[in-house]
Every structure is written in C-alpha cells, then in structure tokens.
C-alpha cells in the first residue's frame, strides 16, 4: 500500500493536479476502485445487567441524550425501549413507561442516534476471499474492525466479487456473525481493462477478467449479468483512470441506468473527471461516489447539472489524504479542492451520503478524519448525522423502516461515548452498536 502511494506521489511530482489524471496516478485511482471479541456473548453483563434482550425480546437504554433524527431537538435524560427488534417507545425519562424486569443499559453521559450507514465500502481485499470458509472468529473480527466498531449497521458495497460478498452477508443474516446489513453492487462496470500488474499491486481479490463495456449492447448485457444474481445496484466508472482517459458514451451510461432503474435499483458512479461527472449526471445516475479532485472547483454549470439530476454525493474526503499521505503538498491541494466541492454542493442544497471507500485502497478504517473534513466543508453535526441516517434511507427506499428512532421502526442504534454536537469526531467514538435490537458491538472499557 505504501509503495503504491509512493508511486503515485512520485508520478505526480512533476505534474500539475489537472494533468495528474495520468498513467502514473492509475495505481492510486485503481486502489480507490477497488474478534477477537467474538461478539459478546450476549448474556455477558453490562453494568450489572444482562446485555441482550431477554427471551421476551426487550431491552431498555436509559439516561442518554437522544437524537431521534437530525431535525428534532435532542431528548435529554432519555429512554429507548426496544421490543422484538423494534423501537417500542422513546422519550424523556418519566414520560416513558419502563417495563419491570427488563434488561437495562445505563447510558448516562452517552448519546444515542439511529444506526449509521456507510454508503461506500468494499469487500475486495484479499482478506475477504473465500468468505464461506473464513473461520467465524476471524470474519467477525474483520467485520468489527472495519464496520461495527464505528457504528455502521448498514453498508453499501460498491465493488467486490458478488458471490463472495453474498456469503459474507449470508453468514451475518443467519446469525453466525454479528454484522451490518450489506447491500452490494457486485463487480464494477468498466469501459477499460485493468492491467494485471495494477490488480496485483492493489491487493484485491483475483477475479475472472470482466468484459469491457464498450457499447450499449454490452452495457445492457453486463448490467443484467450483475443484477440477475441479486445485487442491489450497479457501479460504473464514468471515465478511464488511464490514458487516454476515455469517457463512457451517453448511450452506454443510459443503457446501464435504464436496466437498473427498470428493477428499481440505484446506479453509483466513480466520476473521475469533470467530463465523467457531467456524462454520468446527464445519463441519469443516482449517486456520485467521490468528488473529483483532479478537476478543480465545481462551477455553477456542474452544480446545476447535478442538482437537476437529483443525485446524491458521497464525498470520500479522507481516502485521498490517505492515498497521498506521503506527498503533503499534493495531498493538501487535493483536500482543499475536495472540501471546496463538497462546500459548493451543500450550498446548492445537494444531498450528501456518508461513505469512506474503505478496503479498496484504504485500510485505515477510522472515520474520524472524514467527519472532521466534512465539518471543514461547513457541514453541521446535524447534516453529518443526516448523511449517516436519514439521507441514505431516503435515497435507498428504507425511510419506512430505518434511519430514525421512532416507535415501530427497526431498532438499529448507535450509542456514542460523547456528544457529536460538540465535536463531530465523536461520531467515531462508539460505545455500543445495536442492530435489530441486539448489541452487535460494545467497546472495551
């Protein structure tokens, strides 16, 4: 990884940022393509109480500050009652009837929000290979290290071998491994082939070569091939990260989008450049999976096109700082550009989804810096909370089930060790992660 970053930095050394969409950058770009605490035996004590819901399926969280949604005032000294995996009641202590003899977690001094979504992850690194046969404690540790310890109860995988990712999901859904809800696009649709040496250097799983999508017929066939086995959306590169940086034609993009939308599934795009971004937006994609640091600031024509298309943006600000961590000047320049693009998108009223692009090129999973960079772009803690909860459920059609804390909704919750309204990095300081009313992660204390 370090070597790849060095290669990237060196190759970029004598270039302007705009010309950095170069063959030399391709390693960096393609990388972006790219329990120990075996979950708490749920009968272990928490604060002297049992920590799972009892056979009657009830669990009570008391004493926390609760942000039921990004737009509501916080409930101080609040109570959440969970029954059979759903929110049964929420309110100020004293206003909520707490049943007797129910497992209770004292959350005084802590903050509760709805479970977080990370809308840009990957399960493509070699360590996820042969997921059906990874020993349960190891797989559980990997899931915890990357996702549940940071409060993610739902993730969208934007590029990995589907049959493998499906096995991870099955092992979670069967109850064998504690983990988040996983949605996946399967493998990406590309208008270019990836050189073998780059695949090798990226540390990603070896997969059978994917056909290059060069015309609408191939785009339709490739889209069907990915969606038929049950993926949850499609992901494409709008432009090649390699010379000659060709942009997908409007007809190709439209063929992909039409097939996904026919099945009510979203299309994500790696925009790569200004041209790629505009082509993707014109073609009707739903989610822009990165900003475009090589393109300079987004002007009003770009913002208007994005707004008109009602796309959502996943900024992924940290991944660039990570990939360029050994090249400070370029890293800082790109970060300024990324932050300015996000700030401009926010000012134009655009939707933002939280996402980090972990485990393609970045194996530093801590999202704290992402939150800090989002705040640098002007996002309030409520806007960041929205990008983690209500925005993704709206975009992915789950508003009736997830994304807020309200009676009748699924009990996916995060308990934070402080108050993110004071410091957004607290969004990364997770004490408990709760999915379907069960504690799937608790921090060691």
Q: Of 155 and 384, which has the nearer Cβ to Zn ion?
A: 155
- 8 Å CB contact between 395 and 286: yes
Q: Where are the alpha helices (DSSP H) in 283-367?
A: 300-309, 317-323, 328-347
Residues 70-89 interacting with Zn ion (rule: CB under 5 A):
none
Q: Of 158 and 415, which has the nearer Cβ to Zn ion?
A: 158
Write the DSSP symbol of residue 130.
Answer: S
Q: How many residues belong to the site for Zn ion (CB under 5 A)?
A: 3
Please choose, from the candidates 277, 288, 225, the residue with its C-alpha nearest in 3D space to the C-alpha of residue 255: 225
> Bridge-partner residues for 61, per DSSP?
80, 105
Q: What is the DSSP string of 4-34?
A: HHHHHHHHHTTS-SGGGSSGGGHHHHHHHH-
Q: Of 253 and 360, which has the nearer Cβ to Zn ion?
A: 360
Least separation in angstroms between CB 85 and Zn ion: 31
Q: Of 127 and 382, which has the nearer Cβ to Zn ion?
A: 127
Q: Which among 12-20, 237-245, 292-300, 353-361 is the span making contact with Zn ion, rule CB under 5 A?
A: 353-361
Least separation in angstroms between CB 158 and Zn ion: 5
Residues 303-332 interacting with Zn ion (rule: CB under 5 A):
none
* b/e 366-387 (16+ beta carbons within 10 angstroms → b): ebbbbbbbbbbbebebebbbbb
Q: Which among 129-137, 145-153, 352-360, 394-402 is the span making contact with Zn ion, rule CB under 5 A?
A: 352-360
Q: Does 194 bind Zn ion (CB under 5 A)?
A: no
Q: Of 105 and 190, which has the nearer Cβ to Zn ion?
A: 190
Q: Does 31 bind Zn ion (CB under 5 A)?
A: no
- How many whole angstroms separate alpha carbon 46 and alpha carbon 50? 6
- How many whole angstroms separate alpha carbon 88 and alpha carbon 296? 49
Q: Does 279 bind Zn ion (CB under 5 A)?
A: no
Least separation in angstroms between CB 316 and Zn ion: 7
Least separation in angstroms between CB 104 and Zn ion: 40
Helix (H) or strand (E) holding 144: helix 136-146
Least separation in angstroms between CB 410 and Zn ion: 27
* b/e 23-47 (16+ beta carbons within 10 angstroms → b): ebbbbbbbbbbbbebebbebeeebe
- How many whole angstroms separate alpha carbon 395 and alpha carbon 353? 9
Q: Does 360 bind Zn ion (CB under 5 A)?
A: yes
Residue number with the smallest Cβ distance to Zn ion: 357
Q: Could you give the 3-state DSSP secondary structure of residue 155?
A: strand
Q: Which among 208-216, 351-359, 362-370, 407-415 is the span making contact with Zn ion, rule CB under 5 A?
A: 351-359
Q: Of 159 and 179, which has the nearer Cβ to Zn ion?
A: 159
Q: HSE (CB half, 13 Å, CA atoms) of 16? A: 4
Q: Which among 57-65, 224-232, 349-357, 367-375 is the span making contact with Zn ion, rule CB under 5 A?
A: 349-357
Least separation in angstroms between CB 237 and Zn ion: 10
Q: Of 104 and 204, which has the nearer Cβ to Zn ion?
A: 204
Return the residue of 187, 286, 357, 370 that touches Zn ion, per CB under 5 A: 357
Least separation in angstroms between CB 159 and Zn ion: 6
Least separation in angstroms between CB 276 and Zn ion: 15
Q: Does 157 bind Zn ion (CB under 5 A)?
A: no
- How many whole angstroms separate alpha carbon 298 and alpha carbon 316? 16
Q: Of 34 and 178, which has the nearer Cβ to Zn ion?
A: 34
Least separation in angstroms between CB 429 and Zn ion: 25
Q: Return the structure tokens found at 440.
A: 């799937």
Q: Which among 192-200, 254-262, 359-367, 368-376 is the span making contact with Zn ion, rule CB under 5 A?
A: 359-367
- 8 Å CB contact between 256 and 218: no
Phi, psi torsion values for 59, nearest 5 degrees: -150, 140
Number of residues that this document lists for the chain: 445
Least separation in angstroms between CB 305 and Zn ion: 22
- Preceding omega of 358 cis (within 30 degrees of 0): no
Residue 51 CA, distance from chain mean position: 28
Helix (H) or strand (E) holding 61: strand 58-66
Write the DSSP symbol of residue 299.
Answer: -
Q: Which among 152-160, 221-229, 291-299, 436-444 is the span making contact with Zn ion, rule CB under 5 A?
A: 152-160
Q: Of 360 and 434, which has the nearer Cβ to Zn ion?
A: 360
Least separation in angstroms between CB 123 and Zn ion: 11
Q: Does 232 bind Zn ion (CB under 5 A)?
A: no
| Chain residues that interact with Zn ion, rule: CB under 5 A | 158, 357, 360
């Amino acid at each position: 990884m370090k070597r790849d970053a060095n290669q990237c930095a060196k190759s970029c050394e004598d270039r302007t940022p705009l010309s950095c969409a170069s063959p030399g950058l391709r390693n960096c770009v393609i990388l972006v393509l790219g329990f120990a605490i075996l979950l708490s035996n749920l009968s272990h004590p928490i604060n002297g109480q049992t920590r799972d819901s009892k056979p009657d399926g009830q669990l009570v969280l008391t004493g926390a500050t609760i942000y039921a949604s990004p737009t509501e005032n916080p409930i101080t000294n609040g109570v959440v009652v969970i029954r059979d995996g759903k929110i049964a009641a929420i309110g100020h202590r004293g206003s909520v009837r707490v049943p007797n003899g129910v497992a209770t977690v004292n959350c005084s001094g802590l903050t509760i929000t709805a479970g977080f979504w990370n809308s840009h992850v990957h399960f493509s690194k070699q360590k996820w290979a042969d997921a059906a046969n990874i020993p349960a404690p190891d797989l559980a540790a990997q899931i915890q290290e990357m996702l549940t310890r940071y409060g993610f109860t739902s993730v969208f995988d934007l590029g990995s071998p589907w049959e493998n990712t499906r096995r991870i999901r099955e092992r979670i859904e069967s109850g064998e491994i504690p983990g988040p809800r996983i949605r996946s696009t399967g493998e990406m649709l590309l208008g270019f082939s990836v050189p073998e040496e780059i695949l090798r250097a990226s540390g990603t799983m070896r997969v059978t070569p994917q056909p290059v999508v060069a015309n609408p017929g191939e785009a339709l066939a490739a889209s069907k091939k990915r969606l038929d086995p049950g993926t949850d959306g499609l992901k494409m590169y709008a432009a090649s990260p390699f010379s000659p940086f060709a942009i997908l034609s409007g007809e190709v993009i439209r063929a992909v989008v039409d097939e996904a939308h026919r099945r009510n599934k979203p299309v994500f795009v790696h925009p790569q450049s200004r041209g790629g971004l505009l082509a993707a937006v014109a073609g009707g994609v739903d989610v822009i999976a990165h900003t475009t640091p090589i393109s300079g600031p987004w002007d009003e024509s770009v913002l208007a096109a994005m707004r008109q298309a009602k796309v959502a943006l996943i900024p992924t600000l940290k991944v660039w700082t990570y990939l360029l961590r050994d090249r400070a000047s370029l890293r800082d320049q790109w970060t300024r550009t990324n932050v300015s693009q996000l700030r401009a998108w926010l000012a134009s009223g655009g939707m933002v989804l939280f996402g980090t692009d972990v485990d393609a090129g970045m194996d530093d999973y801590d999202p704290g810096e992402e939150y800090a960079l989002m705040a640098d772009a002007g996002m309030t803690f409520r806007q960041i909370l929205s990008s983690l909860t209500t925005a993704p459920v709206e975009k992915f059609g789950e508003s009736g089930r997830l994304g807020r804390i309200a009676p009748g909704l699924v009990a996916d919750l995060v308990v934070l060790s402080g108050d993110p309204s004071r410091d957004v990095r607290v969004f990364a300081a997770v004490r408990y992660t709760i999915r379907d009313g069960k504690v799937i992660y608790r921090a060691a204390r």
